[in-house]
Amino acid sequence: MKKIKTVILGAGGYTGAELLRFLLQHPNVEIIALTGDSQVGKNMAEVFPHLAECNLPPLVAHEQVDFSAAELVFCCLPHGTTQEIIAALPKHLKIIDLSADFRLRDINSYHEWYGHPHAASDLQISAVYGLTEHYREQIKTARLIANPGCYPTASLLPLLPLLKAQLVTPENIIIDAKSGISGAGRSAKRELNFSETSEGMSAYGIANHRHTPEIEQELERAAAKQLKINFTPHLIPMRRGMLATIYAQLTPKTSLMDARNCLESAYNNEKFVHITPENTAPSTHHVRGSNHCRIGIFAGRQEGSIIIISAIDNLVKGASGQAIQNMNLMFGLAEDSGLKYSAVFP
């Protein structure tokens, strides 16, 4: 069976570890190089002991990788560091970038939200946004995939079908989302210490989180008009998982059942997106460790209002799992190859 020769840049972080957890079970993938610039020379057993028995190559600097033998690169480097690196990669490579560096189509918007000019604007033109269920055909033929953020994935999957069908109004959409601490990365930070995060919950990036323009970009395409959302992320004291509570207003003469039927129709044949039964709310426990997204929809107390609950694992469907889903499409494989895992419960 032919195997895709694969390189992971930035394999020392949580998204890199999740990629390896799934790819090591994938029948069509061979890992040929791993980079981790701050941990060059270390074996993966030192960085992630749970991968100690997996016979993986040691971590090297990205300049040391022989990309001529590779077919695919997963880029798990921090935001703002990938554009020049990806621009310098050989043209034969397919690339899936898990940072935010190619998600915003408007390079001026990128400059505004990330604080520096885009360093690979020519590549940005060809990048395909990797929300798999909504860009499937473009992903199949793309060279560069901009893998979505975790908050956008949890928010866009329920909202896009409803906006496209004009069943909810583009105005006054509110997204109240909570993420496990792994969403903040693996770097040591005082505010992420156990004593700082346990037994508490905190909001951050209020009205200015960098995932906001990414969410608005995709909602505007669905609604065919400009819009602004109120998006507030929160950090909660659990390792992984994401729950987005979304408030929206139905358009005139639209019922809750119309909205439910729209979502069920949109995702009826999808392997990883599921609408929960009526009056049943999804939980992060229902998706933990898996590539699944579960969506529940409810009537609000105000006339014509609805409340949507969306649950994903921020490290899987919100990052590494969706990246593998996109890889499968790019290489003509079954979309769920290497991803056929149920949630870990309890």
The yes-or-no verdict on residue 165 having pLDDT over 80 is yes
pTM over 0.85: yes
- Does the annotation mark 293 as catalytic? no
SS3 189: coil
Q: What is the β-pairing status of strands 174-179 and 242-249? A: antiparallel
Tokens of 39: 């941990």
Give me the residue spans of the domains in the chain. 4-126, 151-314
Q: Does domain 151-314 have CATH number 3.40.47.10?
A: no
Q: Are 330 and 145 in contact (CB under 8 A)?
A: yes
The yes-or-no verdict on residue 193 having pLDDT over 90 is no
> Burial letters for 181-216: b for 16+ Cβ neighbours within 10 Å, e otherwise?
bbbbeeeeeeeeeeeebeeeeeeeeeeebbbbbbbb
Catalytic one of 75, 150, 262, 293: 150
Residue 88 is predicted with a pLDDT of 96
* Residue given tokens 């409340």 in the structure block: 307
Other CB atoms within 10 Å distance of the CB of residue 22: 20
Annotation: CATH topology of 4-126: Rossmann fold (3.40.50)
Q: What is the pLDDT of residues 70-116, one digit of tens each?
A: 999 999 998 888 999 999 999 999 999 999 999 999 999 999 999 99
